[in-house]
Structure 1
């Protein structure tokens, strides 16, 4: 009798194990992130956030649940090694072309891939590109660099920035970089029908699902800040945080970083924040309004994932900002040996600022950083590669996937999660 009971129990144990193994295999097949294999493509209902690593500045590709796309920044700047990171995958193409090729691959669900929305957080070369002496010239006469190079290889339907149409805040923007960008806009508008808009803080109807909005009512892109105008958190109301420009000496006007755009992308319980290079740690006796992070944090609230402001530079991620957002996952877009600052990383990992676990991922990390910062960098979950946040349909759970950036294999190096959205 005991033998029969043992054999029955063994059969049930074996059956249970087979069920568990089968379930795991099904989950693996469903989510498809197998180590060493190419990342499976986007599927309907999924929100993908790709922090693309070219080694030359910021760029992120978002694929919305309805399959539409948004590109945030397309940097082509920074320093060469050893102070800066090396171009990824290599220097055989410009960063804008690499970004466009990445986007075309990830948007393969479209018969004719295009960027539905592209927006620049602010006007610095590591976020938009700047014309160099060796830059190629487009048919429109402008130089190909950063965002202008992206559009040469994949169409951009709508461009959003902080300055359209006059580009005169906080003072006229007339350097060579801006003249090249404005020539690009004018030509694209005239010849390709590109739409151009200024980002309006407070609104949640400027960046929307253009293909099937009714199917995903719990998806929203909320404009948080631009040019010091910050959403209050109520309806579409905003408040100007900067003084009037006519009341300020020219050397005390807001910096370009202070004018950065910020948005929050929400999908069910999942929230993602990105805020360009906005600062939050004031220097010396500067006025309170130089801290942009604090009023932004008051309106954003807790998020699951946050891209570090200003690459984690020393003037960013103040304690109030971190305590308000309490991100479970933080992503550092690195291209320089001062990304991130030691104090910034110390605040990020501080359990006094906000309790609970957090995982930090970096697109790159230079040896100089490792030598100076030391053991804190040993806590990074990843320090090389494209960082992909894949949010499951409905937004209740998400994963972080690291892709090889040494070639266009899009090979999965590591998978973290699933994480539960709050």
Structure 2
């Protein structure tokens, strides 16, 4: 065990005030975040990804703010999960309300120091629809991240395309046109800083409030964006994708391949988020379409992994799982495609890596349960917000599932503590 992690573990054991990380019971309201804890909230809206972090010093980060078109035929079909907690509000507003409540409970002023969009898909950033409210100011509508920003101040937004949004081709669809109008207005009128993710760097997302006590034990490392991958040495990178001048339009990297991935480290605890990175190559496609394998080599073992691409059939390949060896998986579900049967089989495989692993899903459709069967019966939780709470110093962590049918933050299940590795 790292010396810093051992120090903090002793603090937790000796100081009764810090034992509140474990003083959590089913049926109670979630115990608020306290200084030194790391909280990771996987928020279920039924309409896409949203992961909210309260870092050890109170710095806040939101990764993604998905909002599928609520009027689309597929969104309303049995193939998709229903809106959570209801369709009375749009996902961006639900996300902002969740964050506001969690921060208020924790005696923090509701504000996002950072927001990051892993890539430009509606289930990660929000899609304009016929019922999207128009912004009170600015020539854009409120959906996903643009709606979150209407309720919460955001200091910095990190995406994969700023400022030209031209890789691997110009981004001019209605979703991106709306987002770019938001970027222009938000930066000029609200002072929000927009940046492109900088692969290899560990100084783009940092602790903002009181970093000194955690300087040697906390880091968020940018692993990859647009195929530019950290080598694992210093801040140097290499490019996985061929020069686009050598590719025709059908061969260009997909949006998912361009996803931002990060590794968060707190003492002995590690967490990996990879957006929708793919790792299973279609027959006849070039080997560089597998992004997970080279990424996994520089990430290394982690404790918790939010599944790439929601666990869709092109993700979580053998190499990624063997390298990351997660103790805990979180599946952000909004479709009956999540997760693929073969993906779940790989996740539980003792041949890929030995040992226990616990799997949690934000929402699991009955159709999935009927088709996949026994493997889904192993889930520790198949519906609700999933909170990972890491103890001061990162030596141990818990997983807490919350009732998502209302905004009361009632605990459904408590798992752990797990020992960070």
TM-score range, shorter chain: over 0.9
Shift of 1:34: 1.6
Q: Name the counterpart of 2:199.
A: 201
Q: Is the Cα contact below 8 Å between 1:270 and 1:303 reproduced in 2?
A: yes
1:83-117 residue CA offsets vs partner (Å, 9 max, x unmatched): 10000000000000000000011112455311000
Aligned residues: 399
1:132-179 residue CA offsets vs partner (Å, 9 max, x unmatched): 011100021211000000011111110000000000000000111001
Q: What RMSD in Å do the two structures reach over aligned CA positions?
A: 1.3
Alpha-carbon distance in 2 for matches of 1:104, 1:120: 20
Shift of 1:32: 3.0
Alpha-carbon distance in 1 for matches of 2:109, 2:410: 24
1:310-344 residue CA offsets vs partner (Å, 9 max, x unmatched): 00000000000000000000000000011000000
Alpha-carbon distance in 2 for matches of 1:27, 1:227: 41
1:380-413 residue CA offsets vs partner (Å, 9 max, x unmatched): 1100000000000000000000000000000000
Q: Name the counterpart of 2:72.
A: none
Q: Which residue, out of 104, 112, 115, partners 1:115? A: 112
Q: Name the counterpart of 1:226.
A: 225
Alpha-carbon distance in 1 for matches of 2:322, 2:84: 34
* Structure 2 counterparts to residues 85-234 of structure 1, below 5 A: 85-108=81-104, 109=106, 112-138=109-135, 139-217=137-215, 218-234=217-233
Alpha-carbon distance in 1 for matches of 2:17, 2:168: 55
Alpha-carbon distance in 2 for matches of 1:307, 1:81: 25
Q: Name the counterpart of 2:315.
A: 316
* Structure 2 counterparts to residues 36-47 of structure 1, below 5 A: 36-47=27-38
Alpha-carbon distance in 1 for matches of 2:32, 2:178: 35
1:227-246 residue CA offsets vs partner (Å, 9 max, x unmatched): 00111111111110000001
Q: Is the Cα contact below 8 Å between 2:21 and 2:391 reproduced in 1?
A: no
Shift of 1:81: 3.8
* Structure 2 counterparts to residues 233-248 of structure 1, below 5 A: 233-248=232-247
Q: Which residue, out of 49, 52, 61, partners 2:40? A: 49
Alpha-carbon distance in 2 for matches of 1:251, 1:319: 27
1:54-97 residue CA offsets vs partner (Å, 9 max, x unmatched): 00000000110000100000000172241100000000000000
Segments of structure 2 that go 5 or more residues without pairing to the other structure are 1-13, 70-74
TM-score (normalizing by structure 1): 0.93
TM-score (normalizing by structure 2): 0.93
Q: Name the counterpart of 1:388.
A: 387
Q: Indicate whether 1:32 and 2:23 are aligned.
A: yes
Secondary structure of 1:107 counterpart:
helix
* Structure 2 counterparts to residues 289-368 of structure 1, below 5 A: 289-368=288-367
Shift of 1:37: 1.0
Q: Is the Cα contact below 8 Å between 2:20 and 2:31 reproduced in 1?
A: no
Segments of structure 1 that go 5 or more residues without pairing to the other structure are 1-22
Q: Which segment is superposed worse, 298-307 or 71-80?
A: 71-80
Alpha-carbon distance in 2 for matches of 1:80, 1:368: 15
Shift of 1:29: 4.7
Q: Is the Cα contact below 8 Å between 1:170 and 1:254 reproduced in 2?
A: yes
Secondary structure of 1:70 counterpart:
strand
Q: Which residue, out of 56, 70, 77, partners 2:61? A: 70
Shift of 1:373: 0.5
Alpha-carbon distance in 2 for matches of 1:30, 1:215: 19
